[in-house]
Chain A
Amino acid sequence: MTTIVILYFIVVVVGTGGEMCISRATKEIGEVHDFRPHAIARHVLAVVKVPWLWLGISMMAAAFFALMGMLSMANASLVFPATALNYAVGAIGGKFFLKERVTAQRWLGVTIVCVGVVLVVLGKG
C-alpha cells in the first residue's frame, strides 16, 4: 500500500510538473506552422536547447517508471483513472506556473472530471 501511494505521488505531482516544464520550453520556441519533416526536425532541434525541456523530460521519465511500477501491481482500469488527479494539479499549475487564463467553465469541467475519477476509484472490481 505504501509503495502504491509513493508511486502514485510521483506519477501525479512529478509527472504533471514535468508536462508543465515541457509546455514552458515549447512556448519559448513558438508555434509550429510548417509540418514538413525538415521543418519539424529544425523545431525539435531548437526545443532541445531549452533547459526547461530536459527538466520536464527527467520528471516525466520518473513519473513513467513510477507508472510502470503501479501497473505491475494493479489493474490498468484502476491505475489510469486514479492518475487523472493530475487534472487538478494541471489546472492549478497552468494558472500559477504558466500564467494561463483558466476560465470558470474550464474549472467546472475539471471538477466534474475529478468527481468521475473518485467514482472510478471507488468502483473496485
Chain B
Amino acid sequence: MSNQPARRLKTLVMMIIIVCSSPVGYTFVSKGMKQVGWQGWSLHSILHFFIQGFTNGTIWIGIGLLLAYFVAFLVVLSWADYSYVQPAASLSYLIVAILAKYFLHEVVTPLRWLGVIIICSGVFIVGRTHVRSFEDLAP
C-alpha cells in the first residue's frame, strides 16, 4: 500500500514508547511491591494488600508509566496485528533484566542472560514480518 513507510515510522515510534515505558514502570512497581509483601488470600489480607499497594508512591510512579504504555498499546493495535505487537514488545525483557540487576540489585545468572538474548533473537525474527499480515491475503 502507498503509505506503508509512514505507517512503519509511526509504528516504530509507538513501539519505542511501548518497549521503554513498560519495563521502567514494572521496575518501579516491583520495588514498591517488595515493600508491601504478599499477605495471603483472606479478605482482610487482600484488603490490606491493596491499601498498602495503592498508598505507595513508588507503585504510583510505576502505574503512571504503565498507563503511558497502555495508551500506546491501545493506539498501535488500531492498525497493527496483535500477533505482531505483542512479540515485538518483548524487547522489554532485556530492559527489565538490566534494570533488575542494576536498579533492584537482583542476581541475574549467566543462564538467565542467555535466555534473555534468545528471547531477543526470537523477537528479531518476528520483527522482520509485515506489520499488518492479513493484508497479504487480499487479492
* A64 CB, min distance to chain B CBs, angstroms: 8
Contact call A23/B77, Cβ cutoff below 8 A: yes
B68 CB–A CB distance under 8 Å: no
Segment 69-122 of B: residues with Cβ below 8 Å from A:
73-75, 77-79, 81-84, 86-87, 90, 92-93, 96-97, 99-101, 104, 106-122
Contact call B109/A116, Cβ cutoff below 8 A: no
* B4 CB, min distance to chain A CBs, angstroms: 13
A3-B38, A105-B125, A123-B110 known; A94 vs B83 contact (CB < 8 Å): yes
CB within 8 A of B34: which of A47, A72, A100, A103? A72
CB within 8 A of A40: which of B75, B123, B134? B75
* Cα–Cα, bound, A110→B88 (Å): 10
Interface size on A, residues (CB 8 A): 63
Contact string, B1-42, partner A, CB cutoff 8 A, digits 1/0?
A: 000000000100000000000010011011001101110010
A-chain residues with CB within 8 Å of residue B83 when the two chains form the complex: 90-91, 94-95, 98, 100, 102, 106
Contact call B134/A99, Cβ cutoff below 8 A: yes
Most chain A CB within a 10 A radius of its CB, from B53, B109, B127, B128: B109
Chain B interface main SS type = helix
Please classify how large the interface on chain B is, using the bins under 10, 10 to 19, 20 to 34, 35 or more: 35 or more
A30 CB–B CB distance under 8 Å: yes
* Cα–Cα, bound, A123→B116 (Å): 11
Contact call A112/B30, Cβ cutoff below 8 A: no
A20-B82, A87-B86, A117-B119 known; A112 vs B93 contact (CB < 8 Å): no
Query: Can you report 26 residue pairs joining A to B where beta carbons are below 8 Å apart?
Result: A22-B74, A23-B77, A27-B78, A30-B78, A68-B59, A71-B34, A73-B38, A75-B104, A80-B97, A81-B119, A87-B87, A90-B87, A100-B81, A100-B134, A102-B133, A106-B83, A112-B119, A113-B119, A116-B114, A116-B119, A117-B115, A117-B119, A119-B114, A120-B112, A123-B111, A123-B115
- Report A's interface with B, CB cutoff 8 A: 3, 19-20, 22-23, 26-27, 29-32, 35, 40, 43-44, 47, 64, 67-69, 71-73, 75-77, 79-81, 84, 86-87, 90-91, 93-95, 98-103, 105-106, 108-125
- Report B's interface with A, CB cutoff 8 A: 10, 23, 26-27, 29-30, 33-34, 36-38, 41, 49, 53, 59, 66, 73-75, 77-79, 81-84, 86-87, 90, 92-93, 96-97, 99-101, 104, 106-129, 133-134, 136-137
Top 3 closest A-B pairs, CB basis?
Answer: A123-B111, A116-B118, A94-B83
